[in-house]
Amino acid sequence: MSTRVVLLAAGKGTRMRSKLPKLLHPLGGRAMVLHALGAAAEAAADGPPLLVVGHGAEALRAAVGDGAEFVEQAEQLGTGHALLQAKPALQGKADLVLVSNADLPLLSGDTLKQLLAAQQANPGPFTMLTLRQPNARGFGRVKRGAGGEVLAIIEEAEATPEELAIDELNVGAYCFRGDWLWPALEKLKPSANKGEYYLTDLLEIATAAGERVEAVVLQDPHEAIGVNTREHLAEAEAALRGRINRRWMLEGVTLVDPASTYIEAGVTIGQDTVIWPNTILQGQTAIGADCSIGPNTVVRDSRIGDACRVEAAVVEMAVLENQVDIGPFAHLRKGSHLGDGVHMGNFGEVKNSTLGPGAKMGHFSYIGDATIGANVNIGAGTITANYDGEKKNETVIEDDVFIGSDTMLVAPLHIGKGARTGAGAVVTKDVPAHTVVVGVPARAVRKLEEPD
């Protein structure tokens, strides 16, 4: 049986009170809609998920790209009307239609598959997903008959006090038989209260015709967190964080304080790495084994090798090879590449630069647009003056150079292998290998003996 998924994403998301369309709000570093699309793609492979868009359609299309087939709902007349817009694309083409609200970002592919399997075994028109929970959070209530059969979904705005007390909720995911769905949708009437066409009224259409609808009861309440407000968004974020953190602990990573550890979905971490409190790992970040990361550290879109130590640092779009030791208070910016065994101490900043294996910059330095060789020592307070007010200029420092404290390296500049600069030197001209320069501006004072 062929199956397609439809995600409803056209709503205004008024309760978020945001300029940004609701489904583009990030969760775990990724737009909510992408979470829903990921689960949809896991559940059904007979074609891409269909995304019903309306409010903020252009932005959604841009964010999703070719991750979905788009269906336009020009006017937001309710969830039933939203689904109806997929009829031309799917009628006669999908035996089963899995439908989910796109604002359920934690709903898993496994749960959607369970719903699908239940409907495959159900001769009736559809199967819905419910949750038993006293805290209703605005969800529709599920009314069951004396025999336990599901009878109706009552929207909160239209429920009587007795109905409000029902603790079984409509999660917002359904699997329909295609041949039943499309004609049934045409029968929906606008709701008394809001004048919207409610998808949920399909249940009464089915039961009125004497057809039996099945329900799958969801066990993990986190999966059913529907995001309507920013408070819900924070709840979903906390639940997702818990899920990700548990996964890494199971993989052999120590999280000293999971409650203050924020790991986005795209991050990977090696075994026996220890993550200290207040650490945020974002984007496409890969961290190796046996590292110590944090406390008070942000790593974004970076690659960190094995056995590194990163303390109280901000690392962005950078690469650290193995046994690199940075911080506290170090800032690596885009294009920083620290070779094996590099040590970068407090108050250092590196941008678009390579530090060769074993290079040391212990204190208060800025290195920008530089290529620095192996075993170079960068004295306290050294600065590459890389910007002349018009353009960025490069500094090249070859292996085994010793840069004295408080040296100004005025780029463009080339310092030959094994050279030395005196404390406070302002180096404006290239320095030959094995030469000592001192002063302002720096001049050569002697040649060093070259090691064999």
Q: Catalytic positions, please?
A: 363
Residue 84 or 419 with smaller CB distance to ligand UD1 = 84
Say if residue 190 is preceded by a cis peptide, omega within 30 of 0: no
In the complex, least distance from residue 79 CB atom to ligand UD1, rounded to whole angstroms: 4
5 binds ligand UD1 (CB under 6 A): no
Neighbours of 84 (CB within 10 A): 21
**Is 133 a residue that touches ligand UD1 (CB under 6 A)?**
no
Q: How far is the CB of 197 from ligand UD1 (least distance, A)?
A: 8
Look at residues 147, 42, 59 and name the one whose alpha carbon lies nearest to residue 98.
42
Note whether 140 binds ligand UD1 by CB under 6 A. yes
Count of C-beta atoms within a 10 Å radius of residue 347: 17
Residue nearest to ligand UD1 (CB): 140
Interface with ligand UD1: number of residues (CB under 6 A): 29
Please say which residue, 225 or 324, places its beta carbon nearer to ligand UD1: 225
**Among 49, 32, 442, 82, residue whose Cα is nearest residue 234:** 32
Is residue 155 close enough to count as binding ligand UD1 by CB under 6 A? yes
133 alpha-carbon distance from chain centroid: 28
Q: CB under 8 Å to 81, separation ≥6 — which residues?
A: 73, 75, 188, 196, 197
Nearest-approach distance from CB 24 to ligand UD1, in angstroms? 12
CB 370 within 8 A of CB 393: no
111 binds ligand UD1 (CB under 6 A): no
Considering only residues 8 to 47 of the shown chain, the ones binding ligand UD1 according to CB under 6 A are: 8-11
Q: Which residues pair with 168 in a beta bridge?
A: 132
Q: How far is the CB of 41 from ligand UD1 (least distance, A)?
A: 17
Q: How far is CA 54 from CA 71, 82, 101, in A?
A: 9, 9, 14
The item of ligand UD1, Ca ion, none sharing an interface with residue 8, based on CB under 5 to 8 Å by kind, is ligand UD1
Query: In DSSP terms, which residues pair with 275 in a beta bridge?
Result: 255, 293
User: What residue ranges bind Ca ion (CB under 5 A)?
Assistant: 103, 226, 228
Does position 174 interact with ligand UD1 (CB under 6 A)? The reply is: no
Paired sense of beta strands 408-410 and 360-363, if any? unpaired
Residue closest to Ca ion, measured at CB = 226
Binding site residues, ligand UD1, CB under 6 A? 8-11, 52, 73, 76-79, 81-82, 101-104, 139-140, 153, 155, 169-172, 198-200, 226, 228
